[in-house]
Amino acid sequence: MRASALFGITLTILSVLACSGIGDRVIIDELITLDDGQSRIFKLDPGRYKLDITASNDGVSVEWLGSSCPKSDQKKEYSLICEMPKDGQLIISNPTVLGLGRSSTVTIKLTKLQTL
């Protein structure tokens, strides 16, 4: 098969996949503020997820309930791909410092990854 014909077939397949909605999908893309001791909980369906977080001040901790992904320490930057085998929860927390800690402004981007 000629290279140009193969290229054309590849472009057609990619166009069909793009139009069908198949692929990675951003589930959460937001900026929130968590006060000292406050958490935000997100319900997750089974699937593979990529989480990217940046946080101000002392940072936040992340926990994936319903998966084997590890709970994080308090961090200002966090990025992880996690497999959620069943319904579960993503918990983002600003751990308390005796009720006197600072708020943390947090950017959250959670992407559900395509399964092949």
pLDDT tens digits for range 64-98: 999 999 999 999 999 999 999 999 999 999 998 77
Distance CA 4, CA 44 (A): 43
Q: Could you tell me if residue 13 is inside a domain?
A: no
Range with lowest mean pLDDT among 19-23, 35-39, 72-76, 83-87: 19-23
Decide if 40 is inside a domain. Answer: yes
pTM: predicted TM-score of the whole model, two decimal places: 0.78
Q: Is the dihedral of CA 29, 35, 36, 41 positive or negative?
A: negative
**Residue 76 resides in a domain:** yes
Q: Which domain holds residue 58?
A: 23-113
Q: Cα(16)–Cα(12) distance, rounded to whole angstroms?
A: 6
- Residue 7 main-chain phi, psi, to 5 deg: -60, -40
* The predicted structure's pLDDT at residue 3: 54
Report the percent of the chain where pLDDT is more than 70: 80
Query: What pLDDT was estimated at residue 9?
Result: 54
Residue 113 has pLDDT above 70, yes or no: yes
- The number of distinct structural domains making up the chain is 1
CATH of the domain at 49: 2.60.120.680
The per-residue pLDDT for 2 is: 60
For residue 74, give the DSSP letter: S
pLDDT at 49: 97
CA distance 2 to 69: 46
Residue 57 CB-density burial (10 A; 0-12 exposed, 13-18 middle, 19+ buried): middle
8 within a domain of the structure (yes/no): no
Residue type, 68: S
